[in-house]
Amino acid sequence: MSNPQTTINLLSAQTPQRPDNRSILVIGQKIAGTATAGALVEDIISKEQAATSFGQGSMVYKALAAVLDKCSISLVQPKIAAISLADAGGATAASATLTFAGTATKAGKIVIYIDSIQRKYELDVAVGALAADIAASFVALINADGDRAVQAGVVGAVITITARNAGTQGNTIGTQFDLGLSEGVTLVTTAMAGGATDPALTGLFDPIAGKRFTSIVYPAEYGIATLTTETEARFNVDNKVLDGVGIVGVTDTYANINTQVDALNQKTLAYRANKLINNADYRGGSVFESPLVLAARAASIRELRLTVDANTSSLSPNGQAQGGSFFGAIPYFNTPEVGLPVIKSGNDFTDVETEELKNSGAWLLSNNSNNTTLIYDEAVTTYKTNSLGQVDTTYKYLNYVDTLTIARDYMFKNIKADFSQSILTSGKLVAGRPMVNAKSFEGTVVGYYATLSGFNGDNNYVLLVNSEAAKNQFRDAIRNSIVVNLAEGKITTDILTSINTQLRTILINITPTFE
């Protein structure tokens, strides 16, 4: 025993708490695999894992593959999870026919795409090749592709392709073809149709009770109400932060999309719209990709932007190479969507249609000015009016939702940490004791504003306006509304936050002179 007896305790540093990690939840149907239908599968990190869990080529697999491919640009990634559903009993699978005719009189190459530009099937055709032989060769090519969205069969020169998952989502599978230099051979296709009866959705979101997912990728064909009922209820909850945004993809005509999105009014829904093309050689979206995959890619871009230290160099034309909470205030528009085909001339929405869809709440992709790369347009939600039916822009833009929910998340986490074991008083604070009163609470929360605005030199957020006037407005709102209830141990206050927005319009008037 040595004296004096000495104890030196090492305590945790009082460091500011960051918002929660970002996360993506994918909903869709499986065809096989180890996962239990309706169960939550978390920590998905590879396509091999997704294939083992849900079956390669299934609806949920192809959405997860899109998320994993998009997130693969960064070592630091959002968390990825999925809930898979089995095909409904008695459901029918969508199908289409591809009918060849003739005999090749000139050698060439025929290319067929099914569901995605990634699902490309090409065949060299020799002079004298018969339609039935060409059809049989394509069936072999299609069925040899493990990631295929369809199963192919052939009778004579007629190929029938059938969605591997039954239900209505199969009706969105597109086809296009190019006969190239081949002569003497024709191909006639029908659009995918006949898919019916989706899985029952009762209790779909039960496995994520109490768990937060910041983006939820969801098949619009299931009916958007089930998704938005869940996400809207999660937006404001007691003693938790559970908010997230549902992202859906829809391929349809302008008229149908505009009618549907006009009827929606949710701050937690991003609606990725894609124009339906129904030509003899091209049946599918103007961006030739599965609508569920388009939603998955949009969710991945959103979450990479907002994931601290993620590699965003290929997503940000403004030089912001690492993700973080500050991306909540950076516009989505002009973000390149590398890996998808550009829209063919004449296949996009018109300028008038584009403007109307954006005003209604649709999130669009379009070609850049050189028609070399797809870029995102302004990211909007479907929110248009408040509960009184009055026009309200508070949650119109996805950026506003990002900014406000990140700011709330930051304040929530730090209030939990800073006041974890505090004595509430209406009097003065006693030195050396964990006490809080109205004045000290005000000071602490104003400090949060200083961080979220960059007023204190922290550039990790820059979500709120960085000015003395804005900070004072924030402080005064607290000071004028704060109520300390000692009997209930409760502090109540109102906060006014001035958020940064996005530069969307520049108007310059040029007046000529003749001097």
The helix/strand/coil state of 17 is coil
The residue to which tokens 């927005």 are assigned: 501
Distance from C-alpha of 39 to C-alpha of 418, rounded to nearest angstrom: 36
The pLDDT of 479-496, averaged and rounded, is 96
Distance from C-alpha of 459 to C-alpha of 446, rounded to nearest angstrom: 17
Amino acid 264: pLDDT = 97
Nearest CA to 167 out of 201, 138, 133 is that of 201
Amino acid 318: pLDDT = 87
Amino acid 20: pLDDT = 79
Amino acid 491: pLDDT = 97
Distance from C-alpha of 468 to C-alpha of 189, rounded to nearest angstrom: 65
Angle at 246 between CA 323 and CA 314, to 5 degrees: 30
The helix/strand/coil state of 365 is strand
Query: Model confidence at 15, in pLDDT bands (50, 70, 90)?
Result: confident
Distance from C-alpha of 442 to C-alpha of 301, rounded to nearest angstrom: 36
CA torsion sign for 169, 171, 174, 179 is positive
What is the distance between the terminal CA atoms of the chain, rounded to a whole angstrom? 98
Q: Which residues contact 394 (CB under 8 A, 6 or more apart)?
A: 267, 383, 386, 400
Q: Say which amino acid occupies 82.
A: A
pLDDT digit string, tens, across residues 167-225: 999 999 999 999 988 899 999 999 999 999 999 999 999 999 999 999 999 999 999 99
The helix/strand/coil state of 87 is coil
Q: Are 363 and 270 in contact (CB under 8 A)?
A: yes
Residue 346, both tokens: 């004449």
Distances (CA, A) of 186 to 101, 108, 135, 452: 5, 13, 11, 62
Distance from C-alpha of 21 to C-alpha of 350, rounded to nearest angstrom: 39
Give percent of the chain above pLDDT 90.
95
The yes-or-no verdict on residue 319 having pLDDT over 70 is yes
pLDDT digit string, tens, across residues 224-233: 999 999 999 9
The helix/strand/coil state of 48 is helix
Distance from C-alpha of 378 to C-alpha of 362, rounded to nearest angstrom: 9
Amino acid 1: pLDDT = 62
The yes-or-no verdict on residue 26 having pLDDT over 80 is yes
Q: Which residues contact 62 (CB under 8 A, 6 or more apart)?
A: 115, 116, 147, 149, 290, 292, 293
Amino acid 18: pLDDT = 82
The pLDDT of 323-332, averaged and rounded, is 96
- Phi-psi region at 292: left, alpha or beta (left = phi > 0; alpha = psi -120 to 50): alpha
Q: Which secondary-structure segment (H or E) carries 5? A: none
Amino acid 14: pLDDT = 75
Percent of residues in the chain assigned helix, strand, coil, to nearest 5: 30, 25, 50
Q: Are 51 and 279 in contact (CB under 8 A)?
A: no
Distance from C-alpha of 406 to C-alpha of 21, rounded to nearest angstrom: 11
Domains of the chain (ranges; CATH) run 23-86+199-376 (no CATH), 95-189 (2.60.40), 419-515 (no CATH)
Distance from C-alpha of 214 to C-alpha of 83, rounded to nearest angstrom: 15
Q: Which secondary-structure segment (H or E) carries 128? A: none
Amino acid 2: pLDDT = 76
Distance from C-alpha of 144 to C-alpha of 157, rounded to nearest angstrom: 19
Q: Which residues contact 173 (CB under 8 A, 6 or more apart)?
A: 94, 96, 114, 115, 149, 150, 161, 163, 192, 284, 290
pLDDT digit string, tens, across residues 245-285: 999 999 999 999 999 999 999 999 999 999 999 999 999 99
Nearest CA to 413 out of 501, 325, 304 is that of 325
Amino acid 207: pLDDT = 98
